[in-house]
């Protein structure tokens, strides 16, 4: 049955949600609430019904669900109030700034029998789906390293994202996505996380991190390197996936890239080549036809499935596409990332917890 939704937070992400919801027939946008009157005026000018207070939204019996797209520190109180008022909740990431806060939200969801799902929308990114397809089809052999790098040169936007109390910084912004995707991939392979090492950058002088490098190691020996930077004027490839018989690279958001596969022998002696002031046989390029280049695979994810799945979950027709147990584990690993960076030490992950997380 169609559900009536109110968007809380008519900002950058909120307006994107409204655009996507135009194609989701399972959801009717009942209205918009924002604490900023200018935003409410803009929403009204765009043709949306507006609510002047959160209370008015929560009192409206027509409203089945809310979608929270406000700054990170405000998710928890809004979500808890909404669930207590009988509304189901879709919430932006990071769902909260602490594991305990999220546990509190989960308890309220349980007590009120409401559905709560977090927007880990980048699971539906084409580039991530391409990486998954290449790994899952075994196209490059055993994958021993995944690098996911997102870089820009515009610093941190000059709003609440620079403010620690509001959950600013790149760990709460991008790492939540990159981590969620890698942990999901390995959980679905039933492979536990074994260690975390993180280095955060503060090169732009804000109180929050403007970038990070995170190394994750898994029980099968695979390593994931997650990196974000906001002062990078030349970008590294967004994805670099190394397997025993091939390599995949996705250069950018526009999905330029390729897969290169071995067709001949892995170890084949080459004629040494001049390299800088020396020479090398080990690193000599393959010129003998023993590798072949393929285009990136075709994938057709639709992020609107996230909203459709939520309605199906409410109606008891589907399991949630983003499970709260997965979100909780991601928040727990985020804590390890902050702890590792603070101590400049590798965090060895409790194996009972890691195995529980992928069970």
Give Cβ neighbours of residue 262 (< 8 Å, ≥ 6 apart): 245, 246, 290, 291
Q: Which of 3, 14, 209, 357 binds ligand NAD (CB under 6 A)?
A: 14
Tell me the closest approach of the beta carbon of residue 318 to ligand NAD, in angstroms. Answer: 21
Tell me the closest approach of the beta carbon of residue 158 to ligand NAD, in angstroms. Answer: 11
- Cβ atoms of 139 and 182 closer than 8 Å: no
338 exposure class (CB count in 10 Å sphere: 0-12, 13-18, 19+): middle
DSSP string, 127-148: HHHHHHHHHHTTTTSSEEEEEE
Q: Which of 92/326 has CB closer to ligand NAD?
A: 92
Q: Which of 26, 34, 238, 326 binds ligand NAD (CB under 6 A)?
A: 34
User: Rounded CA gap, 27 and 310, in Å?
Assistant: 10
Q: Which of 7, 10, 101, 332 binds ligand NAD (CB under 6 A)?
A: 10
Which residue number places its CB atom closest to ligand NAD? 11
DSSP string, 275-308: ETTEEESTTPPP-SS-EEEEPPPP----THHHHH
- Cβ atoms of 63 and 45 closer than 8 Å: no
Tell me the closest approach of the beta carbon of residue 71 to ligand NAD, in angstroms. Answer: 5
Q: Which of 64, 92, 125, 326 binds ligand NAD (CB under 6 A)?
A: 92
Decide if residue 8 touches ligand NAD (CB under 6 A). yes
Tell me the closest approach of the beta carbon of residue 161 to ligand NAD, in angstroms. Answer: 8
Q: Which of residues 56-85 bind ligand NAD (CB under 6 A)?
A: 69-72, 74
User: Rounded CA gap, 324 and 310, in Å?
Assistant: 13
- Which residues bind to ligand NAD, rule: CB under 6 A? 8-14, 33-36, 39, 69-72, 74, 92-93, 119, 121, 159
């Amino acid at each position: 049955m169609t559900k009536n939704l109110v968007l809380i937070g008519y900002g950058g992400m909120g307006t994107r949600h409204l655009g996507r919801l135009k194609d989701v027939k399972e959801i009717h946008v009942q209205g918009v609430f924002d604490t900023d009157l200018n935003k409410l005026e803009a929403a009204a000018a765009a043709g949306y019904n507006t609510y002047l207070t959160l209370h008015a939204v929560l009192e409206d019996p027509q409203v089945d669900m809310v979608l929270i797209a406000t700054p990170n520190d405000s998710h928890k109180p809004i979500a808890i109030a909404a669930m207590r008022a009988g509304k189901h909740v879709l919430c932006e990431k990071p769902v909260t700034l602490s594991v305990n806060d999220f546990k509190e939200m989960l308890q309220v969801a349980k007590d009120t029998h409401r559905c709560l799902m977090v927007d880990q929308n980048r699971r539906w990114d084409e580039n991530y789906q391409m990486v998954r397809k290449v790994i899952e089809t075994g196209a490059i052999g055993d994958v021993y390293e995944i690098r996911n790098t997102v870089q820009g040169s515009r610093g941190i936007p000059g709003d609440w994202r620079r403010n620690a109390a509001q959950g600013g910084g790149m760990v709460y912004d991008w790492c939540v996505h990159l981590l969620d995707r890698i942990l999901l991939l390995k959980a679905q392979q039933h492979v536990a996380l074994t260690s975390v090492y993180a280095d955060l950058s503060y090169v732009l002088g804000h109180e929050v991190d403007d970038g990070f490098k995170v190394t994750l190691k898994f029980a099968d020996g695979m390593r994931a390197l997650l990196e974000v930077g906001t002062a990078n004027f030349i970008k590294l490839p967004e994805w670099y996936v190394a397997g025993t018989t091939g390599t995949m690279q996705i250069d950018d958001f526009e999905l330029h890239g390729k897969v290169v596969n071995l067709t001949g022998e892995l170890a084949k002696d080459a004629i040494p080549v001049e390299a800088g002031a020396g020479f090398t046989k080990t690193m000599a390029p393959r010129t003998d036809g023993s590798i072949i280049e393929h285009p990136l695979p075709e994938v057709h994810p639709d992020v609107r499935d996230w909203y459709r799945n939520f309605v199906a979950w409410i109606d008891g027709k589907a399991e949630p596409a983003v499970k709260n147990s997965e979100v909780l584990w991601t928040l727990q690993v985020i804590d390890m990332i902050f702890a590792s960076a603070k101590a400049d030490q590798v965090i060895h992950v409790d194996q009972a917890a890691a195995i529980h997380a992928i069970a």
